Chains A and B, each alone.
Chain A
């Protein structure tokens, strides 16, 4: 009963009021206030990896990171015995090779205090400084201190001073034990450090701080020779993490499986062809998991140990799926298409597939309003067709272009055609000003207003056939253009120096434009200029 009473005042409030003011209601204030849970304050013990009273032995370490035994051994020997000084370490390797997990697990095994900050979650220098200082000074952001950091630190000089203080007190508190600073994803610093002061500072942090008992470990996705700096820096000691080999990948994929024999039979079939395309663990796991489900489909009982006969049968069932799966290997399916997955399989099985052609799902797997689709198609046409031919394509009746009379092309014109095709290949889609886009859009849609008025009221409710809506139509369309720009279907280029207006460019691929046009039942090929 009380809920209905609340709803009526809320629906009558205008859009401008904030949520807080519209929901504030004297009778509700007490119930809205939830108790603020107080997290315990941080102590020096929080600097080490918590074990939850479970011992973590060397064997646990090796088995939790398959294929990384030599790298673990290298890091262990470089870190050395307890409280031995450390030259800065630089752990590098391509992505998803287990660098961060290895470093953290090694620190867990050695039970040494460390401060971890990732340059991916701290996206500028100030965030990085804040993060490190909060951890060193054992400060937790909570409601009581207004979620603020421990010290206001804008500049590197303040950071170094505060860090010196903090490190001295931590080292004292730990009775002289060493503290390690781990900086992860260092390659991202190259992008946000345009003035090239942060990277040399980080690499020289040991010298600049001059505090005993600090070790530095850098984890990076790129090797040290890609870090360019004006006056250079002293190189740290490198530790290289190569990509996983096939045997290691196999070991990783066999972990935590209920039916090991079945999984191993699956991997025998599938792993080798997929490894030819990529050996990155994250991509392989997303590609292999749906395939494994398909592999297990014919089996009624998932815990059965397959014999040779079953293996051959399963192989013959899965084989037609492997090739298309290879061509989709990097595709991350959206939620809708995952649900509609069953239907797509049927479509794929029935249509004949040539090896190597890209198969496209006929339907668009995202939703767009009709006017946005028309805008997209207009942008595509504007980018592909030269501006001088607009008049002939889009004449006032909005009809299709008159067919060019086919003449026998001479060799010279064929060469010219090839050269211009090559140019088109290389240069990519052209730019167009906003007025041209709107002109094409109006041409395309004006011819359809009549046909739309005959359709159901529901379909025409997108605003295209609106009578009094000429002015509001234009502002809606301009809003749509800006939303298409932010969705990266149209990019905004620099302004033309003569005219002073910004030029746009369509970045949609041919397939997507065809799909959109097909969903609108728009004859795209008639409007495309063929050289």
Chain B
């Protein structure tokens, strides 16, 4: 079980705060937590009962994790939610990144508020079938830092799970912050009893990111969450050649913009080069990238998503990347990944039902 059960200042051989002998065993003598442990109620957490009721009509739960920040996890969670909603499924997206809640912006819901009904807190709806919950909706000032220690973050996550009225959902997608700490332990402890289908881990190709993905995979193994697969994001840049800027470096090391001239030149002398796509790996993946790591760790590799400036734009503007043809490099890649995830886990039957 996660080490969170043993307080930092506990005696050696601490039986764990949730154990039946907590506060009462020989090992507890003199421990600063002894009285608290001895008098705390044991047995099933009543909150878990409430959470189980809320989750009764939620068919599937998927966690989206990452080892590092800035790898595109929230972008992936948002686009995954858009994609599933477009299949006529009922989707809930829960953002448990308390310090950096990106989800409201990525769904085009900035400035919205949470309404309460007699059934509980209402998610904020993008469409009838895509509801979102995030601390982002609760901040009076979006620039205000949320400077909370772990216990307070855990409290909010528990509240989200107890209070939000999702109604019936085909999928609840949970976007977590990077790492393996309070938020992750809490969501697994609170949702685990009601069944988590698994976790998707988002990474970038660099070795330093993969080191952290291995830790995330081992976190999942340790807490009993199935790894549905790993997504390698920012996997190279592919962009139409004509969308680049061209610079010449002078002897003094300055850069001069020669884009206009280059475009003219290509138009006149080499028109067939105009519709080429130029690709750069950006993050060296010569050590095999996420795909090789997945083979070694025996988890599914779902696929690669290239760096696509159009995908970034869609994220900034809170749009689905699948609706128009703008994200011509990334949308097809994401589609393949999501379809693979659905196929691998037997979710396809749900789509047939919805149709």
A binds B: no
